[in-house]
Amino acid sequence: MKKNILFEPWMTEMIRTLTNMYNHGWDERNGGNVNILPCVVCGTNQLGMDTAEKMKTARLVIWSQHGLSAVGNTLDEAFGLIETVEKAAEIYMKIAGLPRINTISDEILQGLAERFGLVPREGYLNNA
């Protein structure tokens, strides 16, 4: 009998994380891009200026080899973005080295999006 992966603990966690990302405005509705800065010396004016420039088109900037910065309408929203990114990164690091045995088809991902009332970004799914 084939196991339904939608009820696996890791899938539940991934769905929760992605839903939180969407609920925090991490999409095209609010300029939900994530920008990345190359490694620069921390604590410098250059880091601040580069971050401010990247924040013009994103709500979250990842500082290579250092950390990240996020903005939101409230402090809670900014921390929510940071927490969501940390959780997504943790999940990625746990599975990145694993072989891709059970991949999720675009059809299933589209079904999940419909189930949770989400609209995938254009071009992310083949059949969307």
126 located within any domain: no
124 located within any domain: no
Confidence (pLDDT) at 128? 47
Domain count, the chain: 1
* CATH at residue 42: 3.40.225.10
68-84 tens-digit pLDDT: 888 888 888 888 888 88
121 located within any domain: no
122 located within any domain: no
Q: Indicate yes or no: pTM above 0.75.
A: no
Range of the domain at 106: 5-115
Confidence (pLDDT) at 12? 62
125 located within any domain: no
What residues of the chain score a pLDDT lower than 70?
A: 1-32, 127-128
Confidence (pLDDT) at 89? 83
127 located within any domain: no
3-state secondary structure labels for all residues of the chain: CCCCHHHCHHHHHHHHHHHHHHHCCCCHHHCCCEEEECCCCCCCHHHHHHHHHHCCCCCEEEECCCEEEECCCCHHHHHHHHHHHHHHHHHHHHHCCCCCCCCCCHHHHHHHHHHCCCCCCCCCCCCC
